[in-house]
């Protein structure tokens, strides 16, 4: 594929990123309470004022990352919005801010959903709100140089590690006799993402000291999801890496596997064996199993034995698996330079750009039917914020910038 083709991708991706950033700058800022509205209708109108902590944290992270690393986004408007988002999070997301009497796990637990003015609506008994809190605070502190914020991110990371590797009881979920402890893909993926966030820019010795062991543990946990003699990635396995019975055990989530693929590729560095596993098993395989040969696009869920998943939305085409697939294939290509991977990127790009973006009002639709028709027409919702779309476009732009660099002369 010619450089001209790569240039063409970059042009489209770059202008789409500008348009998406513009959409959120215009519609999502809560200038009264700080933080972000994320329930935005087709035209950007706020249709619900609830603030989902995952999405607050992700938007702070994304704004700061763009501000810090992309010159055209190094603007006061983006910085101010990110700071107001970070302030909102620190003020309201933690359930008992400032160390309650128990002094233990409870003071680190974050809400899942808040009212516009920061009152707790819902708490999940998982680690994800806390993960996005760490992601936001670490990136924001890199922009502002706030040492106290950096420390808080690291302390919460310690708590996360404790919950995942030592004792989950502080999350509040009772251990039930029939509930098999599970290695669910999301957990090691999320922690690996945080390892890379917190280690970024540190010298190898520092990173090694703090998070090298954790990173290797995450990789090991992720690799346990390669099942069926290497022919499938399963979303849930036992703690010993064995297949689980029933629907839960047979579940595949191709977009999630692809996302894990590029996390692994980033972490692999020069480790060729890990790189090969990431490309073969976490990029090519989920695509092979998850792409809809009839209508195009990636299925949301599949059963590895070809049974019907019980998730009502299994056959829908969601925006984020396509975002992750674009990043995964382009990164796999940039590492291996195998032309077939660039062809796949091109295929996913075609489907994605011809189905998800809304040229009229901006941003992307999130949810299509199996046939590719828009099924839900809002641009932001309880699970769709300023994250997968801009992260994908940002990552792809960066990868294309590298690929298009003039090669070093002799």
Cβ distance to a second copy smaller for residue 118 or 196: 118
Q: How many CB atoms lie within 10 A of CB 216?
A: 13
Binding positions for a second copy, 241-300, rule CB under 8 A: 245-247
Q: Which residue's structure tokens are 């980033």?
A: 266
Does 376 interact with a second copy (rule: CB under 8 A)? yes
Q: Which is nearer to a second copy, 139 or 235 (CB)?
A: 235
DSSP 121-188: EE--SSSHHHHHHHHHHHHHHHHH--HHHHHHHHHHHHHHHIIIII-GGGG-PPP-TT---EEETHHH
Residue 46 or residue 207: which is nearer to a second copy going by CB? 46
According to CB under 8 A, which one of 179, 229, 294, 408 is a site residue for a second copy? 179
Contact region with a second copy (CB under 8 A), list: 23-31, 70-78, 127-135, 169-177? 169-177
Half-sphere exposure of 181 (CA within 13 A, CB side): 10
Question: For residue 293, what are its two tokens?
Answer: 């040969």
Q: Of the two residues 217 and 364, which places its CB atom closer to a second copy in the complex? A: 364
State in angstroms the smallest separation of the CB of 221 from a second copy: 22
Residues 311-350 that bind a second copy (CB under 8 A): 312-316
Binding to a second copy in span 189-248, by CB under 8 A: 245-247
Which DSSP letter does residue 226 get?
A: E
Nearest Cα to 399, choosing from 58, 60, 13, 62? 13
97 binds a second copy (CB under 8 A): no
Q: Does 128 bind a second copy (CB under 8 A)?
A: no
Least distance to a second copy, CB of residue 172, Å: 9
**Is 145 one of the binding residues for a second copy (CB under 8 A)?**
no
The residue among 303, 294, 356 whose CA lies nearest residue 326 is 356
Does 382 interact with a second copy (rule: CB under 8 A)? yes
* Per CB under 8 A, 119 contacts a second copy: yes
Report the residue number, 157 or 244, with the smaller CB distance to a second copy: 244
102 interacts with a second copy by CB under 8 A: no
Among 9, 378, 387, 394, the residue binding a second copy under the rule CB under 8 A is: 378
Which of 353, 318, 345 is CA-nearest to residue 399? 345
Which span sits near a second copy by CB under 8 A: 56-64, 209-217, 281-289, 371-379?
Answer: 371-379
- Closer residue to a second copy in complex, CB, 43/146: 43
**Segment 35 to 94, residues that bind a second copy, using CB under 8 A:** 39, 41-42, 47-50
The two structure tokens encoding residue 62: 């994304």
Q: Cβ of residue 97: shortest distance to a second copy, in angstroms?
A: 13
Query: Taking Cα atoms as reference points, which of 90, 114, 111, 131 lies closest to residue 39?
Result: 114
Q: Of 217, 233, 357, which Cα lies nearest the Cα of 283?
A: 233
What is the rounded CA–CA span in Å between residue 364 and residue 59? 16
* C-alpha closest to that of 369 among 296, 302, 305: 296
For tokens 């697939």, name the residue: 325
Reduce the DSSP state of residue 193 to 3 states and report it: helix
- Judged by beta carbon, residue 25 or residue 123, the one nearer a second copy is 123
Out of 32, 176, 359, 405, point to the residue binding a second copy (CB under 8 A).
176
Cβ nearer to a second copy, comparing 317 with 335: 317
* DSSP labels, 245-277: SHHHHHEE-HHHHHHHHHHHHHHHTT-HHHHHH
The footprint of a second copy (CB under 8 A) covers 39, 41-42, 47-50, 111, 113-115, 118-123, 174, 176-179, 245-247, 307-310, 312-316, 367, 369-370, 375-378, 381-382
């Amino acid at each position: 594929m010619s450089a001209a083709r790569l240039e063409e991708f970059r042009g489209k991706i770059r202008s789409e990123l500008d348009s998406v950033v513009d959409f959120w700058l215009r519609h999502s800022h809560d200038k009264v309470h700080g933080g972000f509205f994320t329930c935005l209708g087709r035209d950007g109108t706020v249709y619900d004022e609830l603030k989902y902590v995952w999405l607050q944290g992700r938007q702070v992270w994304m704004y700061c990352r763009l501000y810090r690393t992309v010159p055209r986004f190094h603007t006061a408007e983006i910085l101010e919005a990110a700071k107001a988002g970070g302030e909102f999070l620190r003020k309201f997301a933690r359930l008992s801010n400032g160390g309650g009497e128990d002094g233990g796990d409870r003071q680190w637990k974050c809400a899942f959903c808040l009212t516009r003015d920061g009152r707790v609506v819902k708490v999940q008994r998982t680690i994800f709100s806390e993960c996005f809190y760490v992601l936001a605070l670490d990136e924001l502190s890199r922009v502002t140089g706030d040492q106290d914020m950096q420390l808080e991110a690291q302390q919460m990371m310690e708590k996360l590690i404790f919950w995942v590797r030592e004792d989950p009881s502080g999350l509040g979920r009772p251990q039930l006799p029939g509930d098999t402890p599970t290695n669910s893909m999301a957990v090691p993926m999320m922690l690996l993402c945080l390892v890379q966030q917190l280690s970024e820019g540190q010298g190898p010795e520092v990173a090694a000291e703090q998070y090298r062991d954790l990173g290797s543990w995450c990789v090991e946990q992720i690799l346990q999801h390669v099942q069926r003699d290497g022919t499938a990635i399963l979303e849930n396995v036992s703690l010993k890496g064995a297949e689980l019975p029933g629907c839960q055990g047979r579940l595949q989530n191709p977009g999630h596997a692809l996302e894990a693929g590029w996390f692994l590729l980033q972490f692999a560095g020069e480790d060729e064996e890990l790189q090969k596993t990431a490309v073969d098993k976490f990029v090519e395989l989920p695509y092979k199993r998850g792409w809809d040969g009839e209508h195009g696009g990636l299925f949301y869920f599949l059963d590895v034995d070809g049974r019907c998943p019980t998730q009502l939305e299994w056959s829908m085409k969601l925006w984020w698996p396509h975002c992750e697939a674009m990043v995964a294939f382009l990164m796999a290509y940039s590492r291996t330079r195998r032309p077939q991977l660039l062809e796949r990127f091109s295929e996913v790009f075609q489907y994605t750009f011809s189905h998800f973006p809304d040229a009229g009002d901006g941003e992307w639709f999130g949810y299509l039917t199996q046939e590719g028709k828009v099924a839900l027409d809002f641009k932001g919702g309880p699970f769709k914020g300023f994250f997968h779309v801009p992260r994908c476009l940002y990552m792809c732009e960066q990868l294309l910038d590298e690929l298009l660099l003039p090669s070093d002369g002799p």
